[in-house]
Structure 1
Amino acid sequence: MIRTIPRLWLVLDIAGSALGLLVTLPVSFAFAAGTLSRWIPDGPLSLGLALLVAVIVWGAAAISRLAPAPALIVAWIGALLQMACGFSPGAYDLAILVVLFATSAWGSLRVLWLGGASALGGGVIAGFYLSLMNEPTLIQDAATGLRVAVVAGLIGAVSVLTLVMAWVAGLLWRLVLHGRRTREAQVRAEAVATAEQERVRIARDMHDVVAHSLAVVIAQSDGARYAAAADPAQAVSALTTIGQTARAALSDVRLLLAQLRHREGEGPQPTLADLEALYAQVRAAGVEPRVTVDPMPPGEPPASIQLAVYRILQEALTNAIRHGDGDVDVRLSWHHDRVDLVVRNTVPPTPRHGSLEQGHGLIGMRERAQLVGGSFAAGHADDAFLVRATLPVVPVTA
């Protein structure tokens, strides 16, 4: 019944309706041809009733945006009072058009159709009312009855057309508002989706960098602790590797945090050329990656494929360091349309650090493959853990 609207709009509606009353009421009196009502003699009573009708219909216009349904009811009361008093249509009746516009623009679905029915019904009633008012002799015989009917039909058609046009204008504005809200909702949804994708990307990168670096640091620190007494030089070498790995991880984390805080674009991403450094870190952690590349890449793969291969290998090797038992086999097969990646490492019968299948690393590897349109699978195979990924590669033209 009552909508929530900004106070400014309510003030403007009331002020506009008051202005409309002040402008249209003198015009209505000026064009009344000296007679306000056909049934009430001119005088204070007719003037008061005409003023009351004008105030009612413009009052309905003042609240039409705030409460379209009550405004429609009030407008009908004013129109019926106008016909009951025998007043001719006046300029103040423009307020009815404002009310019909509001019912279709801001009313509920029921009020929308009630406004349309009011436009049709009110136009027909107004046509018959005007034809009777303009026919002094009323209906005395068949000829005058036919004339009254024809005049009523013409006036009714004009009245219906006028009222329906106001209602249709409000309906069009309703569609404009609906389209605007839809676009705003779409923009908000796209912004949320973009932010979520960025958050997931940064979380994925953060996990890849931190998990791998910490796995190397833990492995090196364990080795350094055991080697400290027997071989101090090896302990120093392990500590050097820990420092280098930690500094590289800190640099990557700072880059990711800068992207998160300042919405910067993606920084430099690892490529296939960085795989040797990755293998060296894994060797420093005590795990020997046996790498086979067959066939070799036919050209320069897309950057997105290089990044996906690097991150999947990084996470698979990190899992091998944390959960594996012994060395790890890595195989890359570069075909003209795809690259097949397989990482296999043996695992002890009892997991070292919980279930491998439930970690964030597998989720990240699967997302990496899906982002470039590839497939991913991982799981236990006998006494080993197997990671398989197939990534599509755009054919390289000669």
Structure 2
Amino acid sequence: MFRPLKPYQLGFDVGLAVLCVGVRVPLGSPDVALAVVIIGMGLALALRRVSPALALGTAWVFAIVQMAASLQPDVANLAILPVLYSTARYGGRVLKWVGLASAVLGALSASLYVTLGTYFAGMLGTVESPAPMSVVVTFFAYLFAAIAALVLSWTLGLLAKTWSTARESRMLQVMAEHKVAVEQQRNRIARDMHDVVAHSLAVVIAQADGARYAMAADPGAAESALTTISTTARSALADVRVLLGELRHDEPTAPQPALADLGRLYEQIGASGLPVEVVETGAPAALPAGSQLAVYRIVQEALTNAMRHGEPGSGATVRLAWRPEALDLRVSSRLPAHAVRAVGPGHGIAGMRERAALVGGAFSASQQAGQFVVAATIPVSDTTAQPA
């Protein structure tokens, strides 16, 4: 029933009510009944925000007391206007409509009270008796004026509540959009981190194993392997620093890999013991930066998986088939004999599929005739491309 208010809000409402009552009471010399009505309306004014329902009930009680005591309308009755405003502004669904009904019923009651009171006073001879038609005209004039004032106050409260709700909805929408953007950024960084770390560690492990076996028979090969390990580790460390920096910024702090970097990737993978055959057909077209990054990361992840799970020494084949409307990418590697590789929900396959989808492409990964095949179609047009 009671709404939580800040201390300054409650203090303002109580102070305003006390001020209004204090200003009204000295005007003339109100009798006891009128003083009670004035104080009651001040109480309703004080309760209008902390408890709109209680304020409305209080206003009704003292309005009935006023009519029962045959008191004339008083300036204190203006407290009903902010009370009706509060029922629509702060009240729930039921209280809102109760406030509207109270506005209509209050206007009707006040109009009947004023016009019939004047008519019966004329019949009793205390004042000049008005004509019946005059009473009807006066009644409707009072009724329309009272409905306009009371319903307008209620309507203003409803408009204020609607505006406040719309503003809160906009704020929630902005917060939700920001949260989605942050989550997308985190997912992108997680994909890049997985690609960089998984690829680099696979190269380092392969080179370290090769160096260990070749150390006694071919020290030169061991030195070359250690050089590759050092270069790969330094490159991975630089990439990881960039990704960690992106956690503190909205935009990438360094250029992302592109198609021109695929040659260096092939050399790095080949130096790690996985021969890479590249077959490119068709006329290359200009791809947007996001699409180039998607192609690079898909090739990188597919070759890294081939190096980790493929048949040792069998190599991998990368096919790039350019068409006017799209680039068809296919990376295939032979699996060990009788091996079955599941396409699970890990970061690698899921990340490649999401990268292709983000630039409007398609992706598939499957086992075909003893080979594991990763295939992707990347649109050449940038109309559907989005930053990866």
Which whole-Å CA distance do the structure 2 matches of 1:93 and 1:167 have between them? 15
Q: Deviating runs (4+, > 4 A) in structure 1?
A: 349-352
SS in structure 2 of the partner of residue 268 of structure 1: coil
Which whole-Å CA distance do the structure 2 matches of 1:144 and 1:192 have between them? 71
Which whole-Å CA distance do the structure 2 matches of 1:307 and 1:265 have between them? 13
- Number of residue pairs the alignment of both structures matches: 377
Structure 1 residue 355: Cα displacement = 4.3
Indicate whether 1:110 and 2:94 are aligned. yes
SS in structure 1 of the partner of residue 372 of structure 2: strand
Tell me the alpha carbon deviations over residues 190-214 of structure 1, each in whole angstroms, 9 at most, x when there is no partner. 1111110111111111111111111
Amino acid at match of 1:19: L
Tell me the alpha carbon deviations over residues 243-285 of structure 1, each in whole angstroms, 9 at most, x when there is no partner. 1000000000001101103444452101111111100111011
Tell me the alpha carbon deviations over residues 113-141 of structure 1, each in whole angstroms, 9 at most, x when there is no partner. 0000000000000001111233321499x
TM-score by length of 2: 0.92
Indicate whether 1:249 and 2:236 are aligned. yes
- Matched with 1:209 is 196
SS in structure 2 of the partner of residue 297 of structure 1: coil
Match of 1:154 among 100, 124, 141: 141
Indicate whether 1:196 and 2:196 are aligned. no
- Matched with 2:11 is 11
Indicate whether 1:306 and 2:287 are aligned. no
Q: Is the 8 A contact 2:85 2:154 kept in 1?
A: yes
- Matched with 1:362 is 349
- Matched with 2:161 is 174
Instruction: Could you tell me which runs of 5 or more consecutive residues in structure 2 were left unpaired when the two chains were aligned.
Output: 384-388
- Matched with 1:33 is none
Q: Is the 8 A contact 1:104 1:168 kept in 2?
A: yes
Tell me the alpha carbon deviations over residues 15-57 of structure 1, each in whole angstroms, 9 at most, x when there is no partner. 222223333445xx45xxxxxxxxxxxx7xx622212211211
Q: Is the 8 A contact 1:323 1:356 kept in 2?
A: no
Which whole-Å CA distance do the structure 2 matches of 1:8 and 1:233 have between them? 81
- Matched with 2:309 is 323
Structure 1 residue 368: Cα displacement = 0.4
Change (3 A) 1:182 1:24: farther
SS in structure 1 of the partner of residue 257 of structure 2: coil
- Matched with 1:34 is none
Indicate whether 1:292 and 2:279 are aligned. yes
Amino acid at match of 1:54: I
Structure 1 residue 144: Cα displacement = 3.9
- Matched with 2:270 is 283
Which whole-Å CA distance do the structure 1 matches of 2:336 and 2:24 have between them? 93
Structure 1 residue 154: Cα displacement = 1.6
- Matched with 1:37 is none
Q: Mean Cα displacement is larger for which, 71-80 or 258-267?
A: 258-267
Which whole-Å CA distance do the structure 2 matches of 1:372 and 1:25 have between them? 75
Amino acid at match of 2:79: A
Q: Is the 8 A contact 2:269 2:276 kept in 1?
A: yes
Tell me the alpha carbon deviations over residues 293-332 of structure 1, each in whole angstroms, 9 at most, x when there is no partner. 111313x321111111101111111111111112111111
Q: Is the 8 A contact 2:288 2:382 kept in 1?
A: no
Structure 1 residue 395: Cα displacement = 7.6
- Matched with 2:63 is 79
Indicate whether 1:137 and 2:122 are aligned. yes
Indicate whether 1:230 and 2:217 are aligned. yes
Which whole-Å CA distance do the structure 2 matches of 1:395 and 1:13 have between them? 60
Change (3 A) 1:185 1:388: same
TM-score by length of 1: 0.90
Q: Is the 8 A contact 1:139 1:148 kept in 2?
A: no
- Matched with 2:371 is 384
Tell me the alpha carbon deviations over residues 336-383 of structure 1, each in whole angstroms, 9 at most, x when there is no partner. 22111011111124659x845332101100110111111111111121
Which whole-Å CA distance do the structure 1 matches of 2:268 and 2:140 have between them? 93
Which whole-Å CA distance do the structure 2 matches of 1:303 and 1:395 have between them? 9
Which whole-Å CA distance do the structure 1 matches of 2:259 and 2:249 have between them? 28
SS in structure 2 of the partner of residue 60 of structure 1: helix
SS in structure 2 of the partner of residue 267 of structure 1: coil
Change (3 A) 1:234 1:139: farther
Which whole-Å CA distance do the structure 1 matches of 2:345 and 2:212 have between them? 30
SS in structure 1 of the partner of residue 378 of structure 2: strand
Instruction: Could you tell me which runs of 5 or more consecutive residues in structure 1 were left unpaired when the two chains were aligned.
Output: 31-42
